[in-house]
Amino acid sequence: MALTKIIKKLAIVALLGAMSGAGMAADNVGFVYVSPIGDAGWTYQHDLGRLQLEKETGVTTSYVENVPEGPDAERVIREMAKRGDKVVFATSFGFMNYALKVSKTFRKTAFVHATGYKMGKNMGLVNARFYEGRYLTGVIAGEMTGSNVLGYVAAFPIPEVMQGINAFIQGARSVNPKAELRVIWVNSWFDPGKERQAALTLLSQEADVITHHTDSTAVVQAAEDQGKYAFGYHSDMSKYGPKAHLTATTHLWGDYYVKTVKEVQAGTWKPTSVWGGYKEGMIALAPLNKAIPAELQGRIREMEKQLTAGTMHPFAGPVVDQSGKTIVPEGQNMTDEQLNAMNYYLQGSHAGAWLPGCLNRIPWKHIS
């Protein structure tokens, strides 16, 4: 593992050299990516946003991919600020402290960090309410399952992942009270072999609709091989499982990027903390599979409208956890503080491992 880091470092040194020779564009926007863009996934969605930004505003953009979440990130961000980029988007949790540090030196540059919790005088935050899409996929799963057993391949027990798991079972149980969810933790964001193995394990133990919160497409492919259903995550993964792929929760960053850059150009930009979902156009479902009955498709579209209008909340009370304790009483919605401190399973989840590693210490100050 240390070796891949060394490779990445070498790549960055080379890239920085290339970048400094590129000269200064009048209005350039820099993007820092944690992984290769690839063909699907977290960084791929950010890059779609970057391309939309170029198209709609005419600014030039540049990006550095595969930047490790360490001191190298600071070097890349600093280099972008130094050459005069107007806005720098740092798109991974681990870039937060480095972006904040650099933002203190370059007060005229606008910095935006995705998924973090620290803001600065010229550094804003952005994140997406992924759980809204998860809830909808849960509803579909609850209706489509024959065995009433759903499966979830998850990476690490952090609140963001827990929100997805709980929204999924909450959605499923809203239409199918018999549905139960089994979770396998692979303790890795990226290991296609292990992810596939976990998916096959779930499928061989009665689960017939599965999804994942990891970074590869292996889970969707495994479901396709076994003739079962799966949901993609981050990106539309239907080409990896044309029959299995029911839909996917996808992230749309483009509109937010365009809005931010336009504000910076107009001089009206103020750092904000945006946690956007359907309402802000930052979450959407990939095209729905034909296997989903038209009536259910209609209901999903209706729920999408309600989410967009803000009249529906995936964690509307009563929300009951695995042990039977009421988390949110009837008539109330879960607050953002509660969402960001989520370290428990909701009723209906049967996970073979408890959650000692679940972080409960992110001091999220939400301003929207």
| Least separation in angstroms between CB 322 and another protein | 8
For another protein, give the closer residue by CB, 106 or 240: 240
For another protein, give the closer residue by CB, 360 or 368: 360
**Scanning residues 35 to 74, which ones bind another protein (CB under 8 A)?**
36, 38-40
For another protein, give the closer residue by CB, 188 or 333: 188
Question: In this structure, what are the phi and psi dihedrals at residue 248, rounded to the nearest 5 degrees?
Answer: -145, 150
For another protein, give the closer residue by CB, 190 or 364: 190
| Least separation in angstroms between CB 62 and another protein | 19
From edge to edge, which strands make up the β-sheet containing 60-64?
Answer: 60-64, 28-32, 87-90, 110-114, 123-128, 273-276
Residue 1 touches another protein, criterion: CB under 8 A: yes
Per-residue contact string for residues 240-279; x = within reach of another protein by CB under 8 A: x---------------------------------------
> Tell me, what DSSP letter sits at residue 93?
G
Per-residue contact string for residues 111-150; x = within reach of another protein by CB under 8 A: --------------------------------------x-
**Scanning residues 3 to 42, which ones bind another protein (CB under 8 A)?**
3-4, 6-7, 10-11, 36, 38-40
Residue of the chain from 113, 129, 182, 245 that contacts another protein (CB under 8 A): 182
Helices and strands per DSSP (H, E), number in the chain: 11, 15
Contact 102, 81 (CB under 8 A): yes
Alpha carbons 214 and 161: distance in angstroms, whole number: 9
- 42-47: long-range contacts at Cβ-Cβ below 8 A with a sequence spacing of 24 or more? 42/91, 42/92, 42/215, 42/234, 42/251, 43/91, 44/234, 44/235, 45/234, 45/235, 45/250, 45/251, 45/252, 45/253, 46/89, 46/91, 46/114, 46/253
Residue 320 touches another protein, criterion: CB under 8 A: no
For another protein, give the closer residue by CB, 13 or 353: 353
Residue of the chain from 75, 134, 173, 196 that contacts another protein (CB under 8 A): 196
For another protein, give the closer residue by CB, 51 or 367: 51
Region of 317 (left: φ > 0; alpha: ψ -120 to 50; beta: rest) is: beta
297 exposed, middle or buried (CB, 10 Å; 0-12, 13-18, 19+)?
Answer: middle
Residue of the chain from 115, 163, 170, 221 that contacts another protein (CB under 8 A): 221
Residue 86 touches another protein, criterion: CB under 8 A: no
Residue of the chain from 60, 105, 205, 326 that contacts another protein (CB under 8 A): 205
| Least separation in angstroms between CB 164 and another protein | 16
Please report, as a single letter, which amino acid is at residue 21: G
**Residue burial 157-180, b: 16+ Cβ < 10 Å; e: rest:** bbbbbbbbbbbbbbbbbbebeebb
Residue 360 touches another protein, criterion: CB under 8 A: no
- Element containing residue 247 per DSSP (H, E): strand 245-251
Alpha carbons 343 and 163: distance in angstroms, whole number: 9
Question: In this structure, what are the phi and psi dihedrals at residue 46, rounded to the nearest 5 degrees?
Answer: -65, -35
Which residues of this chain interact with another protein, rule CB under 8 A? Answer: 1, 3-4, 6-7, 10-11, 36, 38-40, 149, 151, 157, 180, 182-188, 190-194, 196-198, 200-202, 204-205, 207, 216-218, 221, 225, 239-240, 322, 350-357
